[in-house]
Amino acid sequence: MYGRIIVAVDLEHIEQGRALLERAATFLDEGGEIRLLHVLEDVPGYIAAELPSDISERRRAEAVVELRAMIDPKADIRIAYEVRRGAASGQILQAAEDSGAELIMIASHKPGLRDYFIGSTAARVIRHAKCSVLVER
């Protein structure tokens, strides 16, 4: 059905990410690729000033390890992973555009009060994506 799929993974909800990955495999064309994507949100400068200077690189390295652990080496499909920095919705959309993705898969969680004012990541991705989006609840 799809040749290139972006699976956006929030590592704080890794079980949802695993479920999305399994489902993505059922949508993938033969010879297609799934790209696991995790976005590290930027830390505000006033907080970053109090953190160790290498915290950003450590967070990225930890995310890479967790994404790699999600990939079954015996799987007969191409699965890549990527860690980006910035606003989650913008980076997901950019990754989809950069890779020519035909589908973005993202999990949705129970919205908090903050989401009602600024909108959730999933909602922003849906509004601005140039390809199909599947939101898993």
The CA-atom distances, in angstroms, between 111 and each of 6, 115, 118 are 22, 6, 11
Q: Are 3 and 32 in contact (CB under 8 A)?
A: yes
Q: What is the pLDDT of residues 27-51, one digit of tens each?
A: 999 999 999 999 998 777 777 667 7
Tell me how far apart the alpha carbons of residues 53 and 55 are, in angstroms, rounded to a whole number. Answer: 6
Burial group, residue 71, by CB count within 10 angstroms (0-12, 13-18, 19+): middle
Q: Are 36 and 68 in contact (CB under 8 A)?
A: no
Mean pLDDT per 10-residue segment, the chain (137 residues) = 96 93 96 97 73 83 96 90 96 98 90 58 93 93
Q: In the predicted model, what is the mean pLDDT of the chain? A: 89
Collect all residues with Cβ–Cβ distance below 8 Å to 22 and sequence separation of at least 6. none
Beta bridge partners of 84: 39
- Looking at 3.40.50.170, 3.40.50.1450, 1.20.1250.20, 3.40.50.620, the CATH number of the domain 2-136 comes to 3.40.50.620
What pLDDT, on a 0 to 100 scale, did the predictor assign at position 92?
98
What pLDDT, on a 0 to 100 scale, did the predictor assign at position 118?
47
Tokens of 40: 């590290």
What pLDDT, on a 0 to 100 scale, did the predictor assign at position 137?
81
pTM over 0.85: yes
